């Protein structure tokens, strides 16, 4: 999967809707806009916390890191997506795939017509349908909805299936101005991105606030009830993780990125067994673009009566301080490379 740590799934959702501004002018804002996304997402009962054993603490920590990364994953260059660049490279990147789909129907094309389904032929085969309910044909406004349904849509090397829908809650500025602020409610339904290295299937909800300033700096705040991500590798091994009651932030300027995440992560793998742990960033993770992992930052992984504190030593190594009693007293401290940690899921 993509190795850049803790970067925003949010990019997909924000930029997807910004593309709707191509050829359709500015936006608007409405502080009284509905907070739903068509229907109110059901808040699931959080799974009960499980203990973290000394024997499994590295494996559980690996899943905590990868699970958080899956939530906050993003394309390497947001500026490319703002320019309408499609999926590129053999990486798990549903955000870029989402942009690719919407660009097919929105980039440089006529504005979406409310109530009219647009059928789009994908560059590499397959098709996609775009539906919108819009109060104006000249601009995107709060309450507008945009939905994309893909059927074996091949674009930029990715095969995309499933549905993604967006409800616009607030907007300010335009894509052409370079200054943009949006609040979006997003739903994924069986949204699958398949590449040579495997596939990722996403179901769930996300509320996103996105801002881009005149200098190109990006800011995201995301939250949701539940997001389930199932990953399948070349050997057909499936790993499914679910984040409940989650939230995250990301701030990006140039090569520098800082991010935070919290929520309850549950899942099961052969190495870690069944797990349910709480994630909380104690110090934001910082990546300066010099490596594929954060150079600093701290995240607490809490189980039932036990914890692991993950501390980025540098862009190559991470220290795992295991507390068997969850009282902050270190029972065992282990330093591994970020690459080794990702392989320990």
Could you tell me how far CA 72 lies from the centroid of its own chain? Answer: 4
Question: Alpha-carbon torsion 314, 6, 248, 86, what sign?
Answer: positive
Query: Mean per-residue pLDDT for 250-272?
Result: 92
Domain tally for the chain?
Answer: 1
Query: Mean per-residue pLDDT for 6-27?
Result: 32
Look at residue 200 in the predicted model and tell me its pLDDT: 81
Confidence of residue 221 (pLDDT cuts 50, 70, 90): confident
Domain that holds residue 223: 10-42+49-343
Render pLDDT for 165-201 as a digit per residue (tens, 0 to 9).
888 888 887 656 667 787 888 898 998 888 777 888 8
Distance (Å, whole) CA 308 – CA 319: 10
- Whether the per-residue pLDDT at 1 is higher than 50: the answer is no
Q: Are strands 317-323 and 307-312 parallel, antiparallel or unpaired?
A: antiparallel
Look at residue 122 in the predicted model and tell me its pLDDT: 82
List all residues 6 or more positions away from 240 whose beta carbon is below 8 Å from its beta carbon.
228, 229, 230, 231, 267, 268
Residue 147 maps to a domain: yes
Confidence of residue 133 (pLDDT cuts 50, 70, 90): confident
Look at residue 335 in the predicted model and tell me its pLDDT: 98
Residue 3 maps to a domain: no
Look at residue 49 in the predicted model and tell me its pLDDT: 97
Nearest in space to 220 (alpha carbons), one of 246, 173, 242, 252: 252
Residue 5 maps to a domain: no
Helix (H) or strand (E) holding 299: strand 296-302
Residue 128 maps to a domain: yes
Residue 4 maps to a domain: no
For every residue of 222-273, DSSP letters joined together read EEEEEEEEEEEETT--EEEEEEEEEEEEEEEETTEEEEEEEEEEEEEETTTE
Residue 1 maps to a domain: no
Distance (Å, whole) CA 219 – CA 70: 18
- Whether the per-residue pLDDT at 141 is higher than 90: the answer is no
Look at residue 85 in the predicted model and tell me its pLDDT: 28
Residue 153 maps to a domain: yes
Look at residue 89 in the predicted model and tell me its pLDDT: 36
Look-up of token digits 């606030």: 209
Look at residue 134 in the predicted model and tell me its pLDDT: 76
Confidence of residue 137 (pLDDT cuts 50, 70, 90): low
pTM (2 d.p.): 0.79
Q: What angle do helix axes 10-18 and 94-106 make, rounded to 10 degrees?
A: 10
């Amino acid at each position: 999967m993509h190795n850049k740590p803790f970067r925003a799934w949010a990019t997909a959702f924000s930029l997807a809707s910004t593309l709707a501004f191509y050829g359709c002018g500015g936006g608007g804002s409405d502080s009284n806009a509905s907070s739903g996304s068509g229907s109110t997402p059901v808040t699931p009962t959080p799974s009960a916390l499980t203990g973290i054993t000394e024997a499994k603490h590295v494996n559980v920590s690996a899943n905590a890191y990868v699970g958080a990364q899956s939530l906050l994953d993003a394309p390497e260059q947001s500026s490319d997506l703002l320019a309408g660049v499609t999926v590129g490279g053999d990486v798990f990147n549903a955000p870029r795939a989402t942009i690719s789909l919407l660009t097919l129907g929105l980039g440089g094309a006529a504005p979406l017509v409310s109530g009219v389904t647009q059928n789009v032929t994908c560059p590499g085969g397959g098709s996609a349908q775009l539906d919108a309910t819009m109060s104006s044909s000249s601009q995107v406004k709060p309450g507008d909805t945009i939905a994309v349904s893909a059927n074996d849509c091949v674009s930029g090397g990715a095969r995309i299936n499933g549905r993604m829908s967006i409800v616009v809650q607030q907007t300010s500025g335009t894509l052409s101005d370079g200054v943009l602020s949006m609040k979006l409610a997003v739903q994924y339904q069986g949204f699958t991105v398949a590449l040579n290295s495997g596939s990722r299937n996403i179901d769930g909800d996300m509320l996103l606030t996105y801002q881009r300033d005149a200098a190109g700096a990006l800011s995201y705040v995301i939250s949701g009830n539940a997001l389930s991500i199932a990953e399948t590798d070349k050997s057909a091994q499936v790993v499914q993780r679910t984040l409940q009651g989650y939230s995250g932030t990301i701030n990006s300027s140039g090569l520098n990125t800082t991010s935070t995440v919290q929520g309850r992560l549950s899942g099961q793998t052969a190495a870690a067994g069944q797990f349910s742990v709480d994630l909380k960033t104690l110090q934001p993770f910082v990546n300066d673009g010099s490596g594929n992992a954060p150079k600093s930052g701290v995240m607490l992984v809490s189980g039932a009566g036990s914890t692991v504190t993950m501390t980025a030593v540098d862009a190559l190594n991470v220290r795992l301080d295991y507390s068997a009693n969850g009282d902050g007293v270190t029972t065992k401290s282990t330093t591994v490379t970020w690459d080794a940690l990702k392989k320990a899921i």
